[in-house]
Structure 1
Amino acid sequence: MLEHLLPPLNDHNLPWMDTIHPIVVHFVIAMALISVLFDFIGVVTGRRALFEVSWWNLLFATSAIFVAIMFGQVEAGLANPYGDARNILNIHSTIGWSLAGVLSVLTGWRYVLRAKDPLSLPLVFLGADSLLAALVVVQVFLGDKLIWVYGLHTVKVVEAMRAGLV
Structure 2
Amino acid sequence: MGEQLSQVLEPIAAWFRTLGVPEPIVHWGHPVMMGIVIFVLGSFVAYMGWRSRLTKDGEVAAKSRASHRQLAPLMYLFIALGYTGGVLSLVMQHKPIFESPHFWTGSSAVILLGINALMTFGFGGDKKESFRTAHAYLGSTIMILLVVHVVLGVKLGLSI
Indicate whether the TM-score tops 0.5. yes
> Per residue, is there more helix in 1 or in 2?
2
Q: Distance in 1 between the 2:153 and 2:99 partners?
A: 8
AA of the residue aligned to 2:140 = S
Question: 1:69-80 maps to which residues of 2 (within 5 A)?
Answer: 69-80=83-94
Query: Aligned-pair distance for 1:88?
Result: 9.8
**Bigger radius of gyration among the two:** 1
TM-score (norm 2): 0.68
Distance (whole Å) between structure 2 residues aligned to residue 116 and residue 98 of structure 1 = 28
How far is the alpha carbon of 1:96 from its aligned partner?
0.9
**Would the alpha carbon gap of residues 48 and 10 (structure 1) be closer, same or farther in structure 2, given more than 3 Å must change?**
closer
Match of residue 116 from structure 2: 106
Contact 2:113 2:142 in 1 (8 A): yes
Tell me how far 1:66 sits from its aligned partner.
1.9
Unpaired stretches in structure 2, ≥5 consecutive residues: 1-10
The residue matched to 1:122 in structure 2 has which SS?
Answer: helix
> Residue 40 of structure 1 corresponds to which residue in structure 2?
50
Amino acid at match of 1:132: I
Query: Root-mean-square deviation (CA), in Å?
Result: 3.4
When the two structures are aligned, how many residues end up with a matched partner? Answer: 140
Amino acid corresponding to residue 139 of structure 1 in structure 2 = H
For 2:50 and 2:23, locate their aligned partners in 1 and report how far apart those are by CA, in whole Å: 41
Residue pairs, 1:1-166, within 5 angstroms: 7=18, 12=23, 19-29=28-38, 30-45=40-55, 46=58, 47-80=61-94, 90-113=100-123, 115=124, 122-147=132-157, 149-150=158-159, 152=160
TM-score norm. by structure 1 comes to 0.66
Q: How far did 1:9 drift?
A: 6.0
Structure 1 position 11, deviation (Å): 5.6
Q: Distance in 2 between matches of 1:37 and 1:53?
A: 10
The share of aligned pairs that are identical, in percent, is 16
Deviations 1:17-53 (A, max 9, x none): x754234423431323322222212111151111111
Which consecutive unaligned segments of at least 5 residues does structure 1 have? Answer: 153-166
Q: Which amino acid aligns with 1:68?
A: G
